[in-house]
Amino acid sequence: MTGPLAGVKVVEFAAIGPVPLAGMLLADLGADVVRVERAGVERLDPDDIAARGRRFVSLDLKDPAGVDAALRLLAATDVLMEGFRPGVMERLGLGPDVVAARNRRLVYGRMTGWGQDGPLAQSVGHDINYIALTGALAAIGPAEAPVPPLNLVGDYAGGTMYLVMGILAALVERDRSGRGQVIDCAMCDSVPGLLTLFHTMARKGVLDEARQANMLDGGAHFYGTYACADGLFLSVGAIEPQFYRALRRLAGFEDDAFDAQWDKAAWPELRARMAAAFRSRPRAEWCALLEGTDACVAPVLTMSEAPRHPHMAARGAFVERDGKIEAAPAPRFSRTAPTLPPRPPAAPDAVDAVLAGWAADPPAATDD
């Protein structure tokens, strides 16, 4: 593996949602990620992109022998990631105190929706529930009803990204202190941070809690999506005055009524007029006229269209493997560029084989 995290060893306990994507991102950046799967798992799904760059071991964590094997792995690793309900790892004999006794340098990443404590800590839930409680879901969608933004906000922004950030921060701190620590990463804690801009707007009295009533939620005519004559869509984001002027000039919105860019009372009528105009031509014609200009317009592409866009293709944002598309590793590094990690393995490794491969490196575990 190549990349800025080459040499970092990670043990990932099999989970759904944020944890496997976190493992993929760490592996993309060069970390050696070993997933602990339940006993009987003989291969990882070859079409599971988030499982790329892994090795895996199959262990029965209800058997003392399986727990002992897991502890041997954890004694030699830098990072642990798990996404169980609070208390499960402790009941398995793999809680933070037990592991820290063997490896005081271990960074122990715990990923949940509700957190390790609090009234809902033992409750089940999914992304939609976690973002509902934070105030994010209520702000997303048309005026009639909130719409879940896939599971991008809770699972992957509030979950994966904060977990990875916490792990990297703890590794940096470990260089100073020589000690690992436990990361309690909860989506209900992280998503409020993603709403910082909107809390700032509320503090300033410029945020309406109704949906489609604000600049960034589809309320403004100059920031939203529009259907074209062929049923395809454009995105328009002409916020700044100079970009709004470019949009008006190029798209023909020269009527004096469009001078009222920031008059919220005028937004519904101006949006309706822009919608009628964009419906008059197919998307390709609008892109030929507006894309790449200061009008801040881009086509709304499907996941299958996106890799074929000239900019995305030029950047190599997607790669094709065995005729199938997946995201390339990101971000980019000037000296330690990562390469595309291998596909999910077709067979498990033995714990002893993993440990033998790690033995050439200085052990992460050091007892006082």
| Residue 366: pLDDT over 50 | no
In a domain, 289, yes or no: yes
By the 8 A CB rule, do 217 and 139 touch?
yes
* Per-residue pLDDT band at 365 (split at 50, 70, 90): very low
Active site residue 155: yes
Instruction: Report if pTM > 0.75.
Output: yes
* pLDDT at residue number 362: 53
Structure tokens at 13: 């306990």
Which residues constitute the domain of residue 299?
Answer: 223-308
Q: For residue range 31-42, list pLDDT tens digits in order.
A: 999 999 999 999
| Residue 211: pLDDT over 60 | yes
103 and 249 belong to one structural domain: no
* Per-residue pLDDT band at 350 (split at 50, 70, 90): very high
169 and 240 belong to one structural domain: no
In a domain, 211, yes or no: no
Helix axes 241-251, 283-290, angle to 10 degrees: 130
By the 8 A CB rule, do 18 and 112 touch?
no
* Per-residue pLDDT band at 361 (split at 50, 70, 90): low
Q: For residue range 115-164, list pLDDT tens digits in order.
A: 999 999 999 999 999 999 999 999 999 999 999 999 999 999 999 999 99
Query: What percent of the chain is predicted at pLDDT more than 90?
Result: 96
In a domain, 367, yes or no: no
Active-site residue identified among 28, 127, 155, 189 = 155
52 and 107 belong to one structural domain: yes
Q: For residue range 76-124, list pLDDT tens digits in order.
A: 999 999 999 999 999 999 999 999 999 999 999 999 999 999 999 999 9
* pLDDT at residue number 1: 72
* pLDDT at residue number 360: 60
Active site residue 294: no
Task: Kindly tell me the number of DSSP H helices and DSSP E strands found in the chain.
Answer: 13, 11
Active-site residue identified among 60, 126, 184, 309 = 126
| Residue 312: pLDDT over 90 | yes
- Number of independent structural domains in the chain: 2
34 and 81 belong to one structural domain: yes
In a domain, 351, yes or no: yes
Residue/partner pairs of 57-66 with CB below 8 Å, 24 or more apart = 57/348, 57/349, 57/350, 57/351, 57/354, 58/348, 59/351, 61/36, 61/92, 61/94, 62/92, 63/39, 66/39
CATH code of 301's domain: 3.30.1540.10
In a domain, 150, yes or no: yes
* pLDDT at residue number 363: 46
**Domain final position from 308, 324, 342:** 308
